[in-house]
Structure 1
């Protein structure tokens, strides 16, 4: 075999491996309930966006997998984490508000008590004149 034939054979083999890996990643994402987006496939495989659009076998498999996902609702992990964090922050703030309201009520009661004590002292002082 000539060098050229060996190179062509090697390139064909690498291309088959890439297609197999891309299909495997698409299948895994689909089984895990992840939304099939080319951007995510690029991140997971390291292949270019054009690979997923130009390679007919991969594109057909991707389109078929997307058809199976029609009507499914997907949640982005980051959004779910952020939503949970916001809910937790709201709970913490509600607890702090409740504590501050209680403290405010206690301070109002103490203020009234001190005003009454001050008025009694004034009355006693006036009586002493």
Structure 2
């Protein structure tokens, strides 16, 4: 009779440990997914009873700690907004990189065009001088 009782206690304790592990895992998952940790949410996720979360002192302590760590200002909408803003920020940073690269290319092209312009100005001046000499030579002939 004592062996049956010991065996029953052992089975009950093992089942209790299994339930506690399921509850701990669910709390960790909710925290990592930025979900609000509530008893109702844990009941939905684990299938365990509400009483389990309230009556088990170890799980109740972990639940209270998780709720406290989330803080009173936890706002799931803000998490969504933050993710959207991060995506927008990444897109804008990418566009800035593209525009900076394009700007560098245009600066190089501008420098080349300035050098070409200087060469053409010198060429125009030389042609003006040649034209002035030819006019003087033509006038002398007249």
Structures share a fold, TM > 0.5? yes
Structure 1 alignment gaps of length 5 or more = 76-129
Q: Helix, strand or coil: the match of 1:34?
A: coil
Alignment of 1:103-118 (within 5 A): none
Distance 2:61 2:38 in 1: 14
Cα distance per residue 1:26-79 (max 9 Å; x no partner): 01001100001111110111111111000000000011111110022124xxxx
Q: Helix, strand or coil: the match of 1:2?
A: helix
Structure 2 alignment gaps of length 5 or more = 78-142
Q: Helix, strand or coil: the match of 2:37?
A: coil
The residue aligned with 2:67 is: 66
Distance 1:67 1:21 in 2: 20
Distance 1:38 1:7 in 2: 29
TM-score for both structures, normalised by structure 2 = 0.51
Distance 2:67 2:41 in 1: 14
The residue aligned with 2:29 is: 28
The residue aligned with 1:14 is: 15
The residue aligned with 1:41 is: 42
How many residue pairs match? The answer is: 75
Distance 1:74 1:63 in 2: 19
Query: What's the C-alpha RMSD, in Å, of the aligned pairs?
Result: 1.1
Alignment of 1:84-123 (within 5 A): none
TM-score for both structures, normalised by structure 1 = 0.56
Work out which of the two has the higher radius of gyration on C-alpha atoms and give 1 or 2.
2
Q: List, as ranges, runs of 4+ consecutive aligned residues in structure 1 with deviation greater than 6 Å.
A: none
Distance 2:21 2:58 in 1: 10
